[in-house]
Amino acid sequence: MGQKPRVIRWAFSALQLVSLSTWLILPASCIRIPPPPVVATRQVPEATGPGMTVAAAPVRDLKVMVWLIADRYHTGMVFPYAWLLESGFVPPEGLGHPTYVTLSWGERTAYVQKSWLNPWQVFRAFFTPSPSVMEIIPFDGYVVNVCQQQRIWRNLVPRGRGPQLAAFLNHVSRSGPDGRPRVIGPSSWGKGVLMEGNFTYHLPRICNVWTAQTIEACGGEINPWFALTADGLIRQAQRPRNGFENVWLGTPKPQPR
């Protein structure tokens, strides 16, 4: 067995140990990304009222389908792009007009560096305040077909939660002089970009905590201390209160011969 898999297993074994112990002694504020200013839930009209035209009050579906995607360690979300825009999300320049975008958050070096992190980089990422990035990747087509190597869950969430979600996503990335997110490089796959993060990455504030807070912005209830691992987050997302259902178990990656 090579060094890279051992490093990954060591890092996440340490992560599981931390998740079982530190929640007892650390305040909840240390794990969460600081929240954005409070945004009111928007009321979505079901139909036009007296004196209102369809243009003034367009009828919308009251629910929007979102997806939770995960590999063994890392999680992200997929959203209809039009919903994010109508809710106030500010995208990076040149993203186009895709049907969906996948979003995730993590340590900057882990996203930028093409090779595996060495043991020192893993230690530095988890145990020291490190720069973060939020990755956004546009795509069209069925979510399962595009993200087929990921495990996938889906859920219908209230359309009116869009402003809270957009506010959180805008808050997580750092803006440039033009008010748009600062782009620091290309995405890890597809035709997306990496946006400079506004907050540091470190234990216990890691990628899956960002996903937990994103689900909360959509109206879910997640305990971040039990969401440090991908499976811990997924167990909570599947509870009846949150309503995520599994639709794809993932296609195994081909093993080198």
Give per-residue pLDDT as tens, 113-136. Answer: 888 888 888 888 888 999 999 999
Q: Is residue 34 part of a domain?
A: no
Q: Is residue 37 part of a domain?
A: no
Identify the band that residue 11 occupies on the pLDDT scale cut at 50, 70 and 90: low
Q: Is residue 11 part of a domain?
A: no
Between CA 216 and CA 242 the distance in angstroms is 9
Q: What is the pLDDT of residues 41-97, one digit of tens each?
A: 666 655 444 444 444 445 568 999 999 999 999 999 999 999 999 999 999 999 999
* Polymer length in residues for the chain: 257
Between CA 215 and CA 67 the distance in angstroms is 10
Cis peptide leading into residue 129 (ω within 30°): no
| Nearest CA-CA partner of 211 in 124, 253, 150, 160 | 150
Q: Is residue 8 part of a domain?
A: no
Instruction: Count Cβ atoms below 10 Å from residue 59 Cβ, excluding itself.
Output: 11
The structural domain count of the chain equals 1
Q: Is residue 39 part of a domain?
A: no
| Nearest CA-CA partner of 247 in 232, 255, 257, 237 | 237
Q: Is residue 7 part of a domain?
A: no
By residue range, what is the domain housing residue 122? Answer: 61-248
Per the structure block, which two tokens stand in for 75? 């999680």
Amino acid at 152: I
Q: Is residue 15 part of a domain?
A: no
Query: For the whole model, what pTM was predicted?
Result: 0.83
